[in-house]
Amino acid sequence: MQPILKGRNLVKRYGKVTALDHCDFDLMPGEILAVIGDNGAGKSTLIKAVSGAVIPDGGTIELEGKPIRFQSPIEARDAGIETVYQTLAMSPALSIAENMFMGREIRKSGPMGQWLRMLDRKEMERIARQKLNDLGLMTIQNINQPVETLSGGQRQGVAVARAAAFGSKVIILDEPTAALGVKESRKVLELILDVKARGIPIILISHNMPHVFEVADRIHVHRLGKRLCVIDPKDHTMSDAVAYMTGAKEPDPALSAA
């Protein structure tokens, strides 16, 4: 099976600091790939390189076998890669529907849309409601509620739903449970599995080992700017993973080739 997203020899330097040191990366179709690593290991740079937020100094990235080189997150998005940032990138004063369609609004057909550039509010609300329902996410009464009136978990839910609605190829989730309580984290994890069930591969960045081991199919361990190894959560314990990423234990050389 070919990886849907493949990175080879990725290099990124910030002055004297090398954030990515000839790093490889593979995401398989339909899987949840967790990316773990200690702070400063360079995992967020890796994710930014994939999502278009930084431009690597060297190396290649391929999406479905075709080489790509994003100049901005918008280009990555247009290519079908959606990212849910840790900050969620939502405008608190605007409604759920408006946030879901921010930057890709639907205009009315006919002269109102063409000449007066009028938005098709009804259609956007309908799609937003449908997308949220598709994910079995929530029983929504008011899709026009401002996002700031939602709880943290609800906001995360909307952000994931937005990514799932538009991310045709890959969805990247950056620390989706970091700011949430126990119950809300549970809801979001279930949501992630729902998205996966619809066949969209997911990259999950997280510090939370129990969450990673619960949902991930494979775990990419990042250390010192490159991929140290990829492990299967069913064959390894959380202590193994932590030991690898902190350098307390060397992985089996066979794993590194995976």
Partner 1 sequence: MSETTPRGQEYEQVLSGASQTVAQFDDHKKGFVSRLQHFLHSNPSMVPLIVLVISTLGLGLYIDWEPIKVMTGMARLEDVNNGSFRFFAPFTLSLILQQVQIVGVLALAQTLIILTAGIDLSVGAIAVLCSVIMGKLTFDYGLPPFFSILLGLAFGTGIGAVSGYLVSRVKLPPFIVTLGMWQIVLAANYLYSANETIRSQDIEASAPLLQFLGTSFAFGSAKITLGVVAMLVLALILAYALRSTAWGRHVYAVGDDPEAAELAGVDVHKTLMSVYMLAGFICAFTAWVMIGRFGSVSPSASTGVLGNIQSITAVVIGGISLFGGRGSILGALFGALIVGVFELGLRMAGADSQWTYLLIGFLIIAAVSVDQWIRKVSG
How far is the C-alpha of 33 from the C-alpha of 218, rounded, in Å? 5
Specify the residue, 60 or 91, whose C-beta has the smaller distance to partner 1.
91
**96: how many CB neighbours lie within 10 A of its CB?**
28
How far is the C-alpha of 257 from the C-alpha of 227, rounded, in Å? 10
52: which strand partners?
Answer: none
Q: Does 45 bind partner 1 (CB under 8 A)?
A: no
Contact between 56 and 10 (Cβ < 8 Å): yes
How far is the C-alpha of 61 from the C-alpha of 71, rounded, in Å? 13
Taking alpha carbons only, the member of 175, 172, 177, 137 closest to residue 157 is 137
Q: Does 137 bind partner 1 (CB under 8 A)?
A: yes
- Return the SS3 of 99: helix
Query: Which of 14, 58, 110, 118 is the binder for partner 1 (CB under 8 A)?
Result: 118
Specify the residue, 148 or 250, whose C-beta has the smaller distance to partner 1.
148
Sites for partner 1 among residues 50-89 (CB under 8 A): 73-74, 77, 83, 85, 87-89
CA-atom Rg of the chain in angstroms: 19
What single-letter amino acid sits at 161? A
Specify the residue, 142 or 168, whose C-beta has the smaller distance to partner 1.
142
Residue 133 host element (H or E): helix 121-134
Q: Does 194 bind partner 1 (CB under 8 A)?
A: no
Number of residues that bind partner 1 (CB under 8 A): 52
- The values of phi and psi at residue 35, to 5°, are -115, 120
**52: how many CB neighbours lie within 10 A of its CB?**
22
Sites for partner 1 among residues 4-43 (CB under 8 A): none
Binding range to partner 1, per CB under 8 A, among 54-62, 112-120, 199-207, 246-254: 112-120
Binding range to partner 1, per CB under 8 A, among 6-14, 33-41, 95-103, 250-258: 95-103
Least separation in angstroms between residue 120's CB and partner 1 is 10
Binding range to partner 1, per CB under 8 A, among 17-25, 61-69, 182-190, 220-228: 182-190
Residues within the interface to partner 1 (CB under 8 A): 73-74, 77, 83, 85, 87-94, 98-99, 102-105, 107, 116-119, 121, 137-142, 144-146, 148-151, 153-154, 157, 182-184, 186-187, 189-190, 193, 210, 214, 234
